[in-house]
Amino acid sequence: MKTKLLFLFSLTLSIVTAQNTYEFDWGFSSTNQQISIDVGDTVTWTWTGGTHNLRSFTGGAESFDSGYSGATGFTFSHTFTVVGQTDYVCDPHAQSMYGTVTVNAAAQSFSAGDVVVTEFLNDAGAVSDVPGEWLEIYNNTEADIDLLGWTLKDDGSDSHTFSTSVIVPPGVYFVMGRGPNDPALNGGVNLDHSYGDGVFTLGNSVDEIVLLSPNSVEIDRIVYGSDNGFPDAGGGTSISLDPDEIFGDNNLGSNWCLSTSTFGEGDLGTPGAPNDLCGPTCEVSLGTQDIVCDDITTGTDTYTVTLAYTGAGNSTFVVSSTAGNISGDNPSTTPDGNIIISGILEGTDIVINVSDTVAGGVCNLSRNVTSPVCEPTGSVDLELQGILDLSLTGSNGKAIHVVANSDIPDLSVYGIGVANNGGGTDGQEYTFDPISVSSGDHILVARSLTDMESYFEDCYNDFTYTLVASSSISQNGDDAIELFKNGSVVETFGDINTDGSGEDWDYMDSWAYKVDGLWTYGGVDCTDGSTTTSTSNCPYPFCTPLSTSDLTINKISVFPNPVSNGIVNIKSQNLGDVNAKLYDIMGRCVLS
């Protein structure tokens, strides 16, 4: 009678130079052994009786052959170095002695600094921030790193966990971004990975970039912003880590500088390539400028410029101007102060220069000043109605909406300026066409009339005039807007000295719209993912149709609606005064 042996399984695990050794019996009971190990592990088989060999099948991940032995206690070992599956067998006893070794990639263990953030563009200039934001990381190790399970986050609510395998090779500058991997749409960047819009954004002034490994170990963190010593040049320039500090402290602001190389559609940066060298930096910065007409007459007047500066007082500076008389504080001795240029003839633009290069310094700062028009403004017959930064392709969603309050024979006396990133006024950058407009006319000034017509649909025809402004309409949702008449500011939206990111008037990928003299907002990012105003989460109020049915509410009746023959009836069952405003179908107040 043949006795069937029970399958006996024994396993011994020991650590040998950070690798595992697995031990198994090899005999008549070794049927269908299934072994799962990691790369670098060793398997040892011990003969338990009989004459056997142990060899791999052809076509497996690895090859091995023990040769024949009939000695009990004989051992055969093999260290596995290739990920994959290998079947093995004893040739004389193939029906009962066989098995499979499955080799897995060894689990990676990560330490702080294995991956570091080396560059980021938090405020794109060539395109809007939605497609244009990106950041670059660098693999400091000597092996591939798979970001599967990693998390990219800030200290707020932004968070993106990599749900698929994303390999970062060693020594590679790896670029990931908010927009699509299409250089024609994202400003000219070849992205290695797109994390998409709505999960992680880069603040234009202050924010955090944090990388967590799959087991939540913080691998890298930077907190950028002027308070942490990071440079900030505003839109269109990336902030990059000094190549000499790639193994140093990348959360130290002084180790970062502004990129100087041009890429893609004209922004500055080196995405996917070694960073520009950071030379000695100028610690002096020019601040806001105040331009005041000394008199306002129909003749030629003079004007005065007051230019603020900070961070000086540690070198010998020379201040010069192409016109006017220089006075005010001396940057050589006063760290923070104001430079005053007076007596400049109206119509004369000037350049103010502050430099310490003659003394061996690295500061050579200039400020272009456009002459104001020192003419009486008279009545102001035009006002801002809407500011738009819609989430359309490139910069095609940028527009300004104005409305005429009276007849204007020549609209070109008015203009618009965009005060970028809280840097103070940039002066008048766009001048309206010399057309005649009537009271109540709505004028839309846009980068792309084709895109605006598609977005607004039928409502596009409700604008009385639509004008193209090209690149002079450049607001990114965090920028203030100035309305000019005869060169003087007559209305301001936002604060020209404040970056609007996170402010009450932030309209990033959204709009601001004036109702009864007060600004209302669609909400940041509210137009993301929409192609028309009617399908967005925030339809533009000008395009929201008003009711055309009779109204009865709170014992007050208004009829007929719409009004016919110029007569409207308002009846109230309440005693006392009734305060009412009547609007036409275009949303214009016609009676108050």
pLDDT digits (tens, 9 = 90+) for 111-122: 999 999 999 999
DSSP 387-411: EEE---STTTTEEEEEEESS-BS-G
pLDDT tens-digit readout, 144-170: 998 988 999 999 999 999 988 899 999
Average pLDDT over residues 49-76: 95
Model pLDDT, residue 108 = 76
Model pLDDT, residue 557 = 61
Model pLDDT, residue 39 = 84
Of the pLDDT bands very low, low, confident and very high (cuts 50, 70, 90), residue 53 is: very high
pLDDT tens-digit readout, 67-82: 999 999 999 999 998 8
Model pLDDT, residue 339 = 98
d(CA 305, CA 109): 59
Spell out the SS3 assignment of 519-559.
Answer: EEECCCCCCCCCCCHHHCCCCCHHHCCCCCCCEEECCEEEE
Lowest mean pLDDT among 256-260, 304-308, 570-574: 570-574
- pTM for the model: 0.43
Q: Does residue 255 sit in helix, strand or coil? A: helix
Of the pLDDT bands very low, low, confident and very high (cuts 50, 70, 90), residue 205 is: confident
Model pLDDT, residue 574 = 58
Query: Residue 591: is it exposed, middle or buried by C-beta count within 10 angstroms (0-12/13-18/19+)?
Result: exposed
Model pLDDT, residue 4 = 30
Nearest to 339 by CA among 348, 351, 330: 330
User: For residue 332, is pLDDT > 50?
Assistant: yes
